[in-house]
Amino acid sequence: MNRPFALMLWDWALLYLKYHQTQKKSPTHLAFPTDASTICGIGICTHCIPADLKLTGSEIFALNPVTREIPPMSISTSSPKPPQWRVPFSFSLLALSAFVVGGVVWLSAWAESSAGRMASSAERLLSALDEPLKEKISFKFDDAERLNWHFIPRVRKGLSMKEMTPAQRALAFGLVSSGIGASGFQKVTTIMSLEQILRDAEKGSGPVRDPELYFVSIFGTPAAKGRWGWRFEGHHLSMNVTVEDGKILSATPVFFGANPGEVRQGPRQGLRALADLEDSALRVVQALNPDQVKKAVVAEKAPTDIRAANSPQAPTDAAVGITYGELNDDQKKMMQGLVGSFANDMPDEVAKAWQEEIVAAGVDKVHFAWMGPADRTQPHAFRVQGPTFLIEFNNTQNNANHIHTAWRSMLGDFGNPVTK
């Protein structure tokens, strides 16, 4: 939106400098005929331009639209005066252009960042709500509700998709998509859709199942400065993002679940919402040799669920299992694929930040632990843990067809430092 204006200032400066150089060779006043063919809508005849003053289309756009000419330089035949230390007008234009363009570039970079898209998406959603709905969706940043995350079916605060109009719902999905990658967004919508399968299977005998009972909450005021955050949550889904001064401070905890883990009947038979996450880990454990298995498999029976569900910080227990440094090259590539399958569900800059943290803290300190049989059809669980992160995955309920998995920060979820 600001680009044409910034380029116009920049092009004026460049054009003035070029003209200044030309005047040193020839003081001829240059004027372009007003009946020339139109270029950029201002009527300039390009064949009248001297060969040593080459103008690009953007430079032509910067010419005076009224006179179709470049202002002449004054030529003096009097005795030369001593040089005066003054800033040339051309340099002033260049400096002004650089300042304006720099500001526009900064604003554009912020707007194009994930945090910038989140803020604009949140603002668009808020502007589409009436006051009662704004009150439901809005919380103070330091409200205790911000840390009250969970993935079970329960009564929630915030504004549900069900309460929104189709237009408002579209804007809400715009906010969700700003905080997740393409593969992650596919998982989010698929997880939501599984509620209909549960509703059909349970026929009202279980908790309320509704693909529209997913809630948006906004904490603080979305802006380029200061702290604010948002959450999107419902059964088997929790996304929690904290932003500070236009940058994502935290994108954890992030939780995905799937029930059923695999749809085994009906028109959607064979669907596995979280297949890549589960299969990547199975490839690692199945590639281990007997000695490595002794280190990696830390329990013959898998625990019944992930740890620290609903806790505002990840468990601080020491990592267990086999280390990355104890794997061979092929196994290391599989481990990279496993971690990447989780990280790449996030926006690119979040995935990159997570992976850079892992490398900076030392990849050889990353542990892989498996629990239960190395068989997708049997109850199993795994963890991947390093100094900066924790992945937990559990598929034990409903005869190993009900998945819970989360990425937690060992540096602190919600942007809050870990306390031990």
Express each pLDDT in 394-416 by its tens digit.
Answer: 999 999 999 999 999 999 999 99
Task: List, in order, residues 6 or more apart from 47 with CB less than 8 Å away.
Answer: none
Largest CA distance in the chain: 101
Spatial contact of 388 and 283, defined as CB atoms under 8 Å apart:
no
What does the pLDDT read at residue 419?
81
What does the pLDDT read at residue 394?
98
Which residue in 172, 114, 140, 151 sits closest to 352, CA to CA?
A: 114
What does the pLDDT read at residue 6?
43
- CA atoms of 413 and 390, how far apart (whole Å): 11
What number is the average pLDDT over the span 208-217? 97
Spatial contact of 42 and 23, defined as CB atoms under 8 Å apart:
no
Spatial contact of 31 and 132, defined as CB atoms under 8 Å apart:
no
Which residue in 305, 311, 310, 308 sits closest to 259, CA to CA?
A: 305
Token pair recorded at residue 58:
């953007």
Confidence of residue 206 (pLDDT cuts 50, 70, 90): confident
> In three state form, how does the secondary structure of the chain look?
CCHHHHHHHHHHHHHHHHHHHHHHHCCCCCECCCCCCCCCCCCCCHHHCCCCCCCCHHHHHCCCCCCCECCCCCCCCCCCCCCCCCCCHHHHHHHHHHHHHHHHHHHHHHHHCHHHHHHHHHHHHHHCCCHHHHHHHEECCCCHHHHCCCCCCCCCCCEEHHHCCHHHHHHHHHHHHHCCCHHHHHHHHHHHHHHHHHHHHHCCCCCCCCCCCCEEEEECCCCCCCEEEEEEEECCEEEEEEEECCEEEECCCEEEEECCCCCCCCCCCCCCCCHHHHHHHHHHHHCCCHHHHHHHEEECCCCCCCCCCCCCCCCCCCCCCEEHHHCCHHHHHHHHHHHHHHHCCCCHHHHHHHHHHHHHHCHHHCEEEEECCCCCCCCEEEEEECCCEEEEEEECHHHHCCEEEEEEECCCHHHCCCCC
* Residue 402 backbone zone (phi > 0: left; psi -120 to 50: alpha; other: beta): beta
Radius of gyration, alpha carbons of the chain: 30
What does the pLDDT read at residue 273?
98
Domain ranges of the chain: 3-71+88-110, 113-250, 264-420
pLDDT at 35 over 70: no
Spatial contact of 388 and 363, defined as CB atoms under 8 Å apart:
no
- pLDDT single digits (tens) 106-164: 333 444 689 999 999 999 999 999 999 999 999 999 999 999 999 999 999 999 999 99
Higher pLDDT, 14 or 104: 14
What does the pLDDT read at residue 418?
87
Amino acid at 251: A
Strand partners, 392: 383, 406
Higher pLDDT, 71 or 214: 214
- pLDDT single digits (tens) 234-279: 999 999 999 999 999 999 999 999 999 999 999 999 999 999 999 9
What does the pLDDT read at residue 112?
62
pLDDT at 38 over 80: no
Confidence of residue 22 (pLDDT cuts 50, 70, 90): very low
What number is the average pLDDT over the span 8-32? 42
- pLDDT single digits (tens) 4-19: 444 444 454 444 444 4
- CA atoms of 344 and 183, how far apart (whole Å): 8
Instruction: Mean pLDDT check: name the lowest of 41-45, 135-139, 201-205, 291-295.
Output: 41-45
Average pLDDT, the chain: 82
Which residue in 64, 80, 83 sits closest to 72, CA to CA?
A: 64
- CA atoms of 316 and 320, how far apart (whole Å): 12
Cis peptide before 253 (omega within 30 of 0): yes
Instruction: Mean pLDDT check: name the lowest of 65-79, 87-101, 287-301, 329-343.
Output: 65-79
pLDDT at 345 over 60: yes
pLDDT at 341 over 80: yes
pLDDT at 314 over 50: yes
Token pair recorded at residue 415:
């942007």
> To which residue do tokens 């004026």 refer?
12
pLDDT at 186 over 80: yes
